[in-house]
Amino acid sequence: MKYKQLIAKMTLEEKASLMSGKDFWQTQDIERLGINSMFLADGPHGIRRQAVAADKLGLNAGIPATCFPTAATVANSWNAELGEKVGEYLGEEAIAQKVNVLLGPGVNMKRNPLCGRNFEYFSEDPYLAGKMAAGYIRGIQSHGISACVKHFAANNQEQRRMSIDVVVDERTLREMYLTAFEIAVKEGKTKAIMSSYNRLNGVYTNESLHLMQDILRGEWGYQGTVITDWGGSNDRVAGLLAGNELEMPTTAGETDNDIIQAVKDGRIKEEVLDECVDRLLELIFTTEEAYRKPLVEFNVERHHRVSQKVAEESIVLLKNEDNILPLKFGKKVAVIGEFAKNARYQGAGSSIVNPTILDHTMDCFEESGIVNIGYEPGFERYGKKSRKKIAKACELAEKADVILLYLGLDEATEADGLDRKSMRIPDNQIDLLHALHQVNQNIVTILSCGSAVEMPWVDKVKGLLHGYLGGQAGARAILRVLSGDVNPSGKLAETYPLTYEDTPSFPNFPGNEVSVEYRESIFIGYRYYDTANVHVRFPFGYGLSYTTFAYSGLQVNKTGVTFTLTNSGAVAGMEVAQMYVGCNSDNIFRPKKELKGFDKIFINAGESKTVTIPFDEKTFRYFNVKTNQWEIEEAEYTIMIGSSSTDIRLTDTIFVEGTGAPLPYDKNELPSYYSGKITNVSVGEFESLLGRKVPVSTWDRKRPLGYNDTIEQCQYAKGVFGRLMFHAVVFAHWFLRKTGKRNTANLIMMSVYYLPFRGMARMTGGLINMPMVDGILQMVNGHFFKGLRHFLKERHAMRLGRRKKSAN
């Protein structure tokens, strides 16, 4: 241990106190030993240090900071160096705001397009997500502070996220849901990891010895700190035994007492607690080093321009019929769509950044050179239909050469804590599109949303530009692409299916009442579509340019591939060359192809460059559930180089020697997985894959409600009080939505409806403790007056205890 002598000076109570927050955003300090508090802040795409005191939950306005494009946007750049640049600027702003730990990036897989937090995650592919995350981490930590990769692991939905049990086979867990974290740890060298809320195969992630000890600390050699998601601690002692050092936010000493008692009665050896304290001290002291030098204010304008450059490289051109883009000089455009005036530039929930500057589309036309003849909103932002708005938009459209139509999803639709209801753009926006098409077919649509949407209307537009959520400078970046000042180079980091029903997880999302079954196994995203030959709207890795690229001269050897890339068009541009690998053996089920490398290259018109993409330890590996380790199957592999997962330009094969591991599966027991057609996997076949019985996925309505049940389950409560609570929350949500207060309605669903009863103690900063929760549960379970007396008694005892402590 590095800080053995310092720890020896601590009392047991002091050690335990360090394991929980001081308030909502700071760690505990020990003044007499020179141990200071750390400050933690949300920051996947901008610093969110709220302006109010740190003892308030993080739902208040933040101190102004640069709002960079979200992770889902930057992933479309396929440029890990650009991710590192974003991280550097985030780190610089964190220093300016005295933040020790930046809570990001998020690397969870986009298992399903409806996950409400997809805008915060990079990709459906773990290799791409891991490489982008490692870049962010290196950039953030170059300033001496810490990144905090989240949410570890398999947190792929928002609904019931604090109680849902993810049922997934070991191979899928390793290959799909842990690989990005592995890259973040080994290549990014993150100093902190945030555990997720959910259960994983029956155990809360921060209590999972398999996840936290066997894999994270054992196999990956992680020496850093594990921090709970806010309110994500279930059994504090079990979490500590798993190596989860820091619980956030504060519980006002309640869980400190749990740790102290566990040490005294022998459930935790004090040496285990000392090791946890040692790792936390390392994070505190190393991040403090960043503040030894004088603080320097960051250059607001410079950071804004960097945000613009990042957005420019992340914009994806999806359609360009008749070369309608870039806009020809002198063309008169009509700007239509509410998102043109009030840009949708970031997600909602805990990641909301208060931008230092905010570019507006309507203010940027003059410098773009685009001739704008007028603006009409055309639709109500939150879905209300208006014939009058459509009529006025059509009247303007008739006068224009080209329509710039800004469509997208509103802030209340993509939010932390809630999943989307559908993949559709709101009907009132599509009604507008159809009406405009009747009067002017030269439509260029600009999309603003953080995740995949259905596009049955795409034949009605000639140009389609997807800006995703481009941050505070995204509006200007889009105009620079439309005008041709910037040649688009973004490629989709996720597949766009024709319909939601085509997605592989459609039958099993968001799961049943208690659990969600990952029956699709490793076949998520393009791994499924390409293997099962399912037609999609836009494939993974797809994106157009204003120039063209030719691939030639592929050479494959044991260390990697080289080939020639030529800009065969008339303008300079950047191309993302992608390397996919497919195994030609059918002994083990696999996707048809998997991304194993990529490179982004700038090439002038007419120029050629030699591109080298190396193989690494992940290129040919698979996880063998019999040997319980990574293996290589001896076989011939096809190496595919392309411009997207379906646009393969060059292929060759290579024979690879294997590790001689036994075959992990009986092919006859897993017919769906060997065919890749996994949308109707039976319970029996899924159990063969899991190697165990599938747990019951419905609530036991006969048993009393407990700590890990939610307000949602109060609809089955034995007591009238519990059922009244449920109906009151449902009514409040309905009423707030009806009156237009959608963000507040979302907050109720996130922080009340899906909150486990234990969350009342874990998320209130000590206002409620677990004995008081016992009283609430008694009231809910049909013993109202007994429970009320218990609640009041425990509240009085808690207040009395705190007064005595203060007096001492």
Check: CB of residue 49 under 8 Å from CB of residue 58.
Answer: no
Q: Is 229 a catalytic residue?
A: yes
Q: Tokens for 263?
A: 């040490």
Strand residue runs (E) in 306-432: 316-320, 332-336, 371-376, 402-408
Q: Comparing C-alpha atoms, which of 763, 765, 759, 764 is closest to residue 777? A: 759
User: Angle formed by the axes of helices 770-780 and 720-738, to 10°?
Assistant: 100
φ, ψ for residue 568 (rounded to 5)? -95, 10
Q: Comparing C-alpha atoms, which of 352, 544, 308 is closest to residue 450? A: 352
Please report where in the chains the tokens 């691939």 appear, as a residue: 551
784 class by beta-carbon count within 10 Å (0-12 exposed, 13-18 middle, 19+ buried): middle
Q: How far is CA 658 from CA 33, 162, 225, 317, 595, in A?
A: 55, 41, 36, 41, 20
Strand residue runs (E) in 126-275: 146-152, 165-167, 192-195, 199-200, 203-204, 225-228
Separation of alpha carbons 343 and 334, rounded Å? 17
Residue 18 C-alpha from the chain's centroid: 28
Amino acid occupying residue 391? A
12 class by beta-carbon count within 10 Å (0-12 exposed, 13-18 middle, 19+ buried): middle
Q: Tokens for 380?
A: 């109500």
Separation of alpha carbons 691 and 669, rounded Å? 11
- Checking DSSP bridges between strand 199-200 and strand 203-204, what pairing results, if any? antiparallel
Q: Choose the catalytic residue: 229, 416, 599, 709.
A: 229
**Buried b vs exposed e over 197-231: b needs ≥16 C-beta within 10 Å?**
bbbbbebbbbbbeebbeebbbeeeebebbbbbbbb
Check: CB of residue 132 under 8 Å from CB of residue 179.
Answer: no
Check: CB of residue 635 under 8 Å from CB of residue 653.
Answer: no
DSSP 342: S
Check: CB of residue 132 under 8 Å from CB of residue 80.
Answer: yes
Q: Tokens for 727?
A: 């109906």
SS (H, E, C) 410-450: CCCCCECCECCCCCCCCHHHHHHHHHHHHHCCCEEEEEECC
Residue 560: in which H helix or E strand, if any? strand 560-567
Question: How many CA atoms within 13 Å lie on the side-chain side of 200?
Answer: 24
Give the chain's length: 808
Q: Is 659 helix (H, G, I), strand (E, B) or coil?
A: coil
Amino acid occupying residue 362? M
Separation of alpha carbons 507 and 364, rounded Å? 45
Separation of alpha carbons 92 and 85, rounded Å? 11
Q: Comparing C-alpha atoms, which of 771, 753, 778 is closest to residue 163? A: 753
Q: Is 319 helix (H, G, I), strand (E, B) or coil?
A: strand
For 30-65, give the DSSP string: BGGGTBPPPBEEE-SSS-B-BSS-TTS-S-SPBPPB
Active site residues: 229
